[in-house]
């Protein structure tokens, strides 16, 4: 309320010096703005606000234009928003239009479109705002279409990726199946080789056992023959021992017994020779017997 009363007093003042200063600052600011001296324009507009307490939406709009021209978007936005609160619909439309232009960026297209829509509501005859509105609307539609295309592309890429994964999985499954089949065949071949080896080992063992058995039989026969020979020798030894014992009982030495035996053999030989000389037939009569 104090500010409102102050403005009313300022507007209603009749002090010629204050009115002259106000008009001079406003004129200097407008001339500087028209000549592109935006920093000078801002200084004069600021003095009107800060020193004289002027609250003219047209001054706020020109200050916003000056800040925008200098690249000070923060102060420009504040002044455009202040001008947009004006009851002057045309000025209000321009302020919203500029806010829409400043928001004309890919990430803030919706905000820009809303500002431009407010601009047209304030002044439907603002053709520049309408042009910008249509331009931003097309950009937004194109952005949405691009986003949809990108989403579709991402979806297609994901589906293709899934298909590739399924294909790779099928290939892996096929390779695994082939490997399992190969492993099974290898196992069967190995089992067959093991069975053949087992049969061969069994045959070798049987052959070895047969040879061992034959060897044992031969050895047993040899042992038996050796035993029989040993028994024969033992028998002879026993006979010799018996003969020796008999000689001892007859009180005849072994040497004497050998001499007697030798004499008996000689007598036997002589007897055999004499028997051979005897004729087997009787001599014919009239012939000598020799």
Contact predicate 113/100, CB 8 Å: yes
Separation between Cα atoms, residue 187 and residue 149, nearest integer Å: 55
DSSP H stretches of helix in the chain:
2-11, 16-34, 38-50, 57-70, 73-84, 89-102, 109-122, 127-249, 254-277
Read off the pLDDT of residues 55-79 as tens digits, 9 standing for 90 and up: 678 888 989 999 999 999 999 999 9
- Gyration radius from the chain CA atoms: 73
Identify the band that residue 181 occupies on the pLDDT scale cut at 50, 70 and 90: confident
Residues 161-185 have a mean pLDDT of 85
Structural domain boundaries in the chain: 1-86, 89-165
Q: And the tokens for 196?
A: 């053949």
pLDDT attached to residue 9: 31
How many degrees, rounded to 5, is the angle at CA 178 between CA 173 and CA 184?
125
pLDDT in tens, 104-156: 999 999 999 999 999 999 999 999 999 999 999 999 999 999 999 999 999 99
Chain-centroid distance, C-alpha 98:
56
Tokens of 156: 């297609």
Q: What is the CATH number of domain 1-86?
A: 1.25.40.10
- Is the pTM value of this prediction over 0.75? no
The string of pLDDT tens digits covering residues 186-240 is: 888 888 888 888 878 788 788 887 777 777 777 777 777 666 666 666 666 666 6
User: What is the percent of the chain with per-residue pLDDT over 70, rounded to a whole number?
Assistant: 78
Rounded-to-integer distance, Cα 86 and Cα 92, Å: 6
pLDDT of residue 69: 93
């Amino acid at each position: 309320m104090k500010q409102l009363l102050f403005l009313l007093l300022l507007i209603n003042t009749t002090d010629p010096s204050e009115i002259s200063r106000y008009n001079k600052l406003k004129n200097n600011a407008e001339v500087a703005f028209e000549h592109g001296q935006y920093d000078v324009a801002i200084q004069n507009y600021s003095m009107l606000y800060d020193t004289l307490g002027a609250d003219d939406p047209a001054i706020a709009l020109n200050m916003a234009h000056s800040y925008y021209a200098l690249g000070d978007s923060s102060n420009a936005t504040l002044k455009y928003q202040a001008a947009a609160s004006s009851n002057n619909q045309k000025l209000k439309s321009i302020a919203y239009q500029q806010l829409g232009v400043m928001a004309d960026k890919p990430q803030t297209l919706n905000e820009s479109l809303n500002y431009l829509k407010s601009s047209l509501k304030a002044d439907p005859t603002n053709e520049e705002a309408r042009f910008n509105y249509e331009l931003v609307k097309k950009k937004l539609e194109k952005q949405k279409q691009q986003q949809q295309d990108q989403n579709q592309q991402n979806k297609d890429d994901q589906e293709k990726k899934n298909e590739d994964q399924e294909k790779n999985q099928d290939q892996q499954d096929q390779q695994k199946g082939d490997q399992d089949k190969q492993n099974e065949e290898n196992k069967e071949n190995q089992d067959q080789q093991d069975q053949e080896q087992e049969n061969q080992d069994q045959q070798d063992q049987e052959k070895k056992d047969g040879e061992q058995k034959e060897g044992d039989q031969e050895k047993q026969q040899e042992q038996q023959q050796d035993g029989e020979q040993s028994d024969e020798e033992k028998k002879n030894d026993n006979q010799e021992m018996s003969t020796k014992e008999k000689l001892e009982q007859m009180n005849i030495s072994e040497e004497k017994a050998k001499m007697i035996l030798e004499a008996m053999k000689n007598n036997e030989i002589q007897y055999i020779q004499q028997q051979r000389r005897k004729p087997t037939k009787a001599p014919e009569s009239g012939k000598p017997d020799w």
